[in-house]
Structure 1
Amino acid sequence: MAPNGDAYVVNPGAPEGNSRFANVRISPASSHRTIYVAGTACVRPSDGTWPGVAQNADGSFALDVRVQTAAVLENIDNLIKGATNGKGGVQNLIDAVVYIVDMDRDYSGMNEEWNKVFPTRAVAPARATIGVKQLPDPRMLVEVKAVAIVEF
């Protein structure tokens, strides 16, 4: 185990490229583990598809923040489940940072999808939402970085 815990990588055989980060960091602890989820987008790690993204005839993209947000949260759920052998999921999030490209246009749609997964404050993680100029890929409208606690 590294000093900052165990790493979980969705596709450990994929080339690392320019960005080197674990999809999840699992901190050492006795009865529970803290799961640190790296910034996650809507792209599916399993097949490279982009929910909420359609390419127009002119090469531009038609983007849907609601579909992207739902996919991001599903990706995070799958990451946590994978890293914990199914012991945790998105409902274990205690903190999240949402990065969004256009707050005026996309905040309400992102928030509607978020509220489907977390219907009350009693079950929702702490959250900050930050407007950013751009994300690493022009197809991305939303990215989420999160922390979860899972009993082991």
Structure 2
Amino acid sequence: MLQRIMIAGMAALLATCASVDSVNGGEQLEGWKREGEIDVYYVKTPARASELAINKGDPAMMKTTCMESSKLQALDNIIRKMVGESLEAQSGMLDGQTTNYAITSLRNGQIKGVQQKECAPTGEGGSWQNCECVHYVSGPNLKKQIQIEVTKAAER
């Protein structure tokens, strides 16, 4: 029994290690990057295919639903992480209500959508039952705009 648990744990670890990072030769794919005059914020988002796709055992459907699930989670993850990093950079802390105000303001203002850079399967045997995708948002001076919104929320 213990051996099975250890094998399952090792398989999960290997599946995690064979994630999106390896698709680009280990390039760091989370956080802020400056590409020319554009600020880009990347985030990796793990997800799971729909139960219907998994139950059908349909690889194409699993891939599609896993990638869509990741994208649905990505926008919220990106905004929360950007706000968190801006707070850390400003050595500040906001209460939950103020943080939610900043997040809502960003979602309704500067950040309208999220783009997908790449996805990789992380399920057992390389299946798309689970996946991890890299998503990003970008814009001119986006990092500064995020910092301004966080400052406005803190002063509110």
Which structure's residues are more often helix, by fraction? 2
Task: Report the TM-score when normalising by structure 1.
Answer: 0.38
Higher RCO (CA-CA < 8 Å; seq separation 6+): 2
Larger radius of gyration: 2
Task: Report the TM-score when normalising by structure 2.
Answer: 0.37
Which structure's residues are more often strand, by fraction? 1
